Amino acid sequence: MSGRTRSIALIVGAVIVVGIAALFASARAGRTASLGDRAHEIASGLRCPVCLNLSVADSPSRLAGEMRSEIQTRLRAGQSPDQIRAFFIDRYGEWILLEPPRSGLNWVPWAVPIVALVSGVAIWVAVVRRPETGLQEPG
Amino acid sequence: MSTDAPPKEERFEPDETAEDFGPRRRRSRTRTIAIVLAPLVLFALLLATGLGKDPRALPSELIGKPAPGFSLPRLDADGTIDSKDLDGQVVVLNFWASWCLPCRQEHDDLEAVWGRYRERGVVVLGVLFEDTPEGAMGFRQELGGDWPIAADPGSKTAIAYGVFGVPETFVIAPDGTIAAKTTGAVTYEWLTDEIEAALRKGNLE
């Protein structure tokens, strides 16, 4: 019983910690970010065209640097982050996004683990646990 | 950790007769194999389709779309090259750099195309990518060629065309749309095919 109480306390504690962290994160996102911060946020979601596995924010390449200044120019011109992302998608395709939009076929990798987990539990309940009531395998 | 499970001997106690145990067991074994294999097969199929793709294959988003405009300072002469002045012409837009090896490889093909089509109003335009004017002029002196070349300050034109690297070559049709794009060293055959197609399209419309 004490073990159970302890694990409940642990879960509640974890939820509180995550909740507080989320509050802090959303508060940070909510305050008016500087142009550099906003540009960095957009750049970190874009894949650097010349290095495949780095974001435009992290890449030291010259093209990435020029893309960062392109983002700043567009922000200064009053474009929204979505408009700027749309510009890059227009020119480079969805390839440019480090995190593809969750639509259409892109849902597959998100759905597969959940479907696998649910069907795994279902199979476990239906098949693996069954020997207790009926069918049994000799050891 | 304490286990609430009953001791093992107890679980296997009930003795089943061979007649009613055999077929059921075989059926359940087939089912177990199916259950284990199904996700494995699905996973293998997923891998097969995913790994069959070339992660370096780059999309061509701009085919059929209006070519982004540009106004670029010339490197081989004074003045600028403006896309507006090229309206109604077939333009071969070649992004290149002096440090780029495939750019050397394609140089003769570009030169041959320029020589063959310049009389018919086709413009070959080299746009420098991530390079210095000195590098560009050195390349010119070494390899020759007299089609216009221009700098691209801030890579604005390269970004507007979604350039991943050099060389990349676009063929712009007379109606101002991008007719074709190729990544890597361009060939004389590819260029003549695309230029002829763009010229035909221009004559029909």
Residues B18 and B98 in one domain: no
Residues B36 and B79 in one domain: no
Residues B23 and B110 in one domain: no
Spatial distance between the Cα atoms of B195 and B92, rounded to a whole number of angstroms: 8
Residues of chain B where predicted confidence (pLDDT) is lower than 70: 1-25, 54-59, 204-205
How many domains are contained in chain B? 2
| B89, B124 contact by CB (below 8 A) | no
Nearest-5° angle of CA B24, CA B29, CA B34? 130
Chain B residues whose CB is inside 8 A of the A93 CB are: 59, 61, 162
Residue in B166, B156, B164, B94 with CA at minimum distance from that of residue A46: B164
Residues B156 and B199 in one domain: yes
Scanning every residue of chain B, which has its alpha carbon at the shortest distance from the alpha carbon of A136? B12
Annotated domain spans of chain A = 1-31, 33-101, 103-139
Report pLDDT digits (tens) over A78-128. 999 999 999 999 999 888 998 877 777 778 888 889 998 998 898 888 877
Residues B18 and B81 in one domain: no
Report pLDDT digits (tens) over B107-123. 999 999 999 999 999 99
**Topology (CATH level 3) of domain A33-101:** Helicase, Ruva Protein; domain 3 (1.10.8)
Q: Which domain holds residue B38?
A: 8-51
pLDDT of residue B1: 45
Spatial distance between the Cα atoms of B79 and A16, rounded to a whole number of angstroms: 65
B91: number of Cβ within 10 Å: 25
Enumerate chain B positions whose Cβ falls within 8 A of a Cβ in A. 8, 11-12, 14, 16, 24-25, 28, 31-32, 35, 39, 55-56, 58-59, 61-62, 68, 130, 154-156, 158-165
pLDDT of residue B71: 97
Residues B44 and B99 in one domain: no
H helix runs in A57-107, sequence order:
62-76, 81-92
Residues B157 and B125 in one domain: yes
Q: Does B139 map to a domain?
A: yes
A62 and B130 in contact by Cβ < 8 A?
A: yes
pLDDT of residue A77: 95
pLDDT of residue B28: 77
Q: Does B145 map to a domain?
A: yes
B61 and A136 in contact by Cβ < 8 A?
A: no
Spatial distance between the Cα atoms of B169 and B184, rounded to a whole number of angstroms: 8
pLDDT of residue A83: 95
ipTM over 0.95: no
| Closest Cα in chain A, distance from residue B111 (Å) | 27
Scanning every residue of chain A, which has its alpha carbon at the shortest distance from the alpha carbon of B34? A123
CB crowding A72-97: b at 16 or more within 10 Å, else e: bebbeeebeeeebbebbbebbeebbe
Spatial distance between the Cα atoms of B124 and B93, rounded to a whole number of angstroms: 6
pLDDT of residue A43: 93
What single DSSP character describes residue A94? G
Residues B29 and B115 in one domain: no
Chain A residues whose CB is inside 8 A of the B28 CB are: 127, 135
Spatial distance between the Cα atoms of B51 and B61, rounded to a whole number of angstroms: 23
Q: Rounded mean pLDDT of A5-11?
A: 82
